[in-house]
Amino acid sequence: MAERFLVGSFSEPGGMLASVATLRAAGVAVHDVFAPYPVHGLDAAMGIRRSRLPFVTLLAGLGGLCFALAFQSPPRPASSVTNSCCGPACSRASASSCPRSA
C-alpha cells in the first residue's frame, strides 16, 4: 500500500495557516505541523479540539486540597467528659475517691 506525504516549508506563519486550512477544506487529512515556535490558531486550523486536561487538573487539585484539609483538623477528645480532675479514670469513679477532691 503506497502512502503519500506532502511536505511544505513556509517563512511566515500566515502562509502555513492558510495552507493547512486549504488542505483541510480539500479533504486532505493533516496529521502534523511542525513550527519552531507557537503559532496562534494552528490548533483550530488543524481541527484539533480543546484539551480536557485543565479541567482534570482542577478536579485533582480540589480533591488534594480536601484531602489535606481533612488531616489538618485537630484531634477530638477520647471522652466527652473534659472537666474531670484526673482524667477519664477519675470521672468514672465517685467524686469522693478522687485524690484532688479535698
Sites in the chain below the pLDDT cut of 70: 1-2, 76-102
Q: Does residue 99 form part of some domain?
A: no
- For residues 10 and 47, what is the distance between their CA atoms, to the nearest angstrom? 20
Output the pLDDT for position 98: 59
Q: Does some domain include residue 68?
A: no
pLDDT at 14: 92
Range of the domain at 21: 1-49
Is 101 inside any structural domain? no
Which pLDDT score, from 0 to 100, does residue 73 have?
A: 73
Residue 88: CB partners within 8 Å, gap ≥ 6?
78, 79, 81
Q: How many domains does the chain have?
A: 1
**Considering the domain boundaries, does residue 60 fall inside one?**
no
Residue 29 lies in a domain: yes
Query: Residue 67: its pLDDT value, please?
Result: 93
Question: Does some domain include residue 25?
Answer: yes
